[in-house]
Structure 1
Amino acid sequence: MINVSGRTLQWDELIDEVSVSSKGIKILEELNKSSKVYRFLSFKELENTILIREHIMEAAKKLNKSNVTFAVFEETRADDRYWAVTEQGGIRLKEGVKPSVAISDIYKNGSEYAFECATAMIIVYYYAALQYLGAESFNNYFTRLYLYSWEADSDLGLKIVTTTDPIPGDVVYFDNPDNLEPQWQGENAVYLGDNLYYGHGIGILNEKEMIEQLNTLGRSNEVDAYMLDKIVRPSFDHWIGLKQGYTRSDRTTSNRIIVYENINHHNQVSISYYYHCSLVNMLNTGTITITINGTLD
């Protein structure tokens, strides 16, 4: 259900008022038929939200075709013209490299790259942001990229929504509770609509196929994999604000950038954003300590 400026609209009204692509029409249909009320201040905000979702979906499809491969943190690879791989398996932007060029290279020279599936989702978001904002704005906002699990620049504005009703462009998580191989403890996946999902290392499958693959790859033999009700979305209104021209003075540097030295590296492969946030919180409060390659991080 869609509400614009306090008014709940019928489908015929939406079609008359909203200008989106043919792919965007499908997203509009999903928003409209949802039992959840999606509220927008204006039709322009609705149109931009749909456009961002399109960019996320397209970024996922392109990454699927890019020849990037799945790898645990110890086997992470990246093109060393643009990135440095850290001892923890993160991918850190080199000094003097434009973020837009480095992110685009993952899509152009995918065979040079290997990373796990949470990292893949962040790459999808960065590439979608690049397409939506353009290179100049992207380079202004995303200056110090560091790709490691779900670590992300705060300007992505990632948030968790509790629902079992994903909209195309959402990121879901298929949990594999009794897996015997940690890299297949679950799969982050971009919902592409029409019951299709893109998961790094698995490809584009429908929900049933995704669950069957996880059960097989993780050697799960008692409990089937299933989709969690924790869905990840970026802050669409914030992305719209970035496109409208927020400047550095609008946001504090400490909130806006990723500081590599402050990252808590948990070394957990293929985890959900919800679990990642829980781990980081426990690390920050000293509840747990993670050991990586024999040294405390």
Structure 2
Amino acid sequence: MINVAGRTFQWNELIEQVQVSSTGRNILQQLDNSPGVYRYRSFAELENTILIREQIMNAAKKLNNSSVSFAVFSETRANDRYWTITEQGGIRLRPGVKSSIAIRDIYQNGTAYAFECATAMIILYYYAALEYLGAETFDNYFKDLYLYSWVTDSDLALDIATAREPIPGDVVYFDNPDHRRPEWQGENAVFLGDDRYYGHGMGILSAEAMIEQLNLLGESSEVDATMLDKFVRPNFRHWMDLKYRNSSRSFRTTENRVILYQSIYHHNLCSISYPYYRTLLNTHHANQLKITMGQ
């Protein structure tokens, strides 16, 4: 169900008010058919939300066609013209390189790159943000990129949503508790609509086929893989604030920007979900707390 500025609209009213592509119309219909309520301040916000979802889907499809490879952290590869590989298997932007150029290179020279599937999700999010914001704005906000698992620049602003069904552009997680190898403990995948999902290392498959492939990688046939009900999506309003600079609270220029990353935590666990990464990160931070008692 869609609510705009406090009002719920019928489908025939929505399609007259919202200007979107044919793909965007399918997204609009799934939002409208959802049992949950999706609230927007204006039709412009709704249109931009749909556009961002389209950019995420396009980024996933292009990454699928880019010839990048799947690799565990110890076998990470990247074009050394733009990136260096850290000891932990992360991909760090070289000083002086524009983020927009380096992200586009992953798509243009995919054979030079190999990374695991959580890193793939972050890469396609950056590419979607680049396409939505444009190179100048993207380079202003996203500097000193570091690609490792779910480590993100804070302005990527990822959220976790719980729902019965994903909306196209959501990142879902197929959990494989019966895996033989850690890198196949699950698969992060972008929902493309029409029961199609893109997962790095697996390609574009239906949910049934994705689960079937993961089951083949299990130790037995007793425990099936399953899609979890927690989905990842960006904070759409924050991306809009970056694009239109209409929020003094969110907008930060290059000069006054302080926080680049929420945290850099190396865990060496391939193919983990974003919710699980957040749990690991919170636990790590809790263990790092030091309490000093007064004398």
TM range (shorter): over 0.9
Q: Is the 8 A contact 1:166 1:231 kept in 2?
A: yes
CA distance in 1, matches of 2:236, 2:227: 23
Indicate the residue corresponding to 2:227 in structure 1: 227
Gaps of 5+ in 1: 288-297
Secondary structure of 1:188's aligned partner = strand
Give the corresponding residue for 1:2.
2
In the TM superposition, 1:15-54 aligns within 5 A as 15-54=15-54
Cα drift, residue 55 of structure 1: 0.2
Three-state SS of the structure 2 residue aligned to 1:180 is coil
**Are 1:164 and 1:228, in contact at CA under 8 Å, matched by a contact in 2?**
no
- How far apart in 1 are the matches of 2:224 and 2:217? 12
Structure 1 position 254, deviation (Å): 3.6
CA distance in 2, matches of 1:250, 1:74: 33
| Structure 2 equivalent of residue 126 of structure 1 | 126
Deviation for aligned residue 1:89: 0.3
Aligned length: 285
Alignment RMSD (CA, Å):
1.7
Mapped partners of 2:52, 2:255: distance in 1: 22
Amino acid at match of 1:285: A
1:122-161 matches, cutoff 5 A: 122-161=122-161
- TM-score under structure 2 normalisation? 0.93
Deviation (angstroms), 1:160: 0.5
Unaligned runs of 5+ in 2: 289-295
1:219 Cα deviation (Å)? Answer: 4.1
Using the TM superposition, give the Cα deviation of residue 218 of structure 1 relative to its aligned residue in structure 2, in angstroms.
Answer: 3.9
SS in 2 for 1:95: coil
| Aligned: 1:183 with 2:183 | yes
Distance 1:237 1:67 in 2: 32
Structure 1 residue aligned with 2:291: none
- The whole-number CA distance in structure 1 between the counterparts of 2:115 and 2:229 is 25
Q: Deviations over 1:243-264 (max 9, x none)?
A: 0026425996343x138xx622
Q: Which aligned runs of 4 or more in structure 1 are off by greater than 2 angstroms? A: 217-221, 245-255
Aligned to 1:286, the other structure's residue is in SS state helix
Equivalence for 1:292? none
Q: Which amino acid aligns with 2:35?
A: S
Question: Aligned partners of 1:251, 1:51: CA distance in 2, in Å?
Answer: 29
For 1:213 and 1:229, how far apart are their aligned partners in 2?
A: 19
Q: CA deviation at 1:165?
A: 1.1
C-alpha distance in 2 between matches for 1:120 and 1:179: 20
Contact 1:174/1:228 (CA < 8 Å) preserved in 2?
A: yes
Match of 2:257 in 1: 253
Percent identical across equivalent pairs? 65
Residue 284 of structure 1: CA displacement? 1.5
1:1-297 alignment, distance < 5 Å: 1-245=1-245, 247-249=251-253, 253-255=257-259, 257-258=260-261, 263-286=264-287
Q: CA deviation at 1:282?
A: 1.3
Q: How far apart in 2 are the matches of 1:115 and 1:222?
A: 30
Cα pair distance change 1:88/1:252, threshold 3 Å: same
Q: Which segment is superposed worse, 212-221 or 71-80? A: 212-221
State the Cα deviation string for residues 5-25 of structure 1 (Å, max 9, x = none): 000000000011000011100
Counterparts of 2:258 and 2:34, CA distance in 1: 37
Alpha-carbon displacement from aligned partner over 1:248-294 (angstroms, at most 9, x marks no partner): 25996343x138xx62201110000000011111111228xxxxxxx
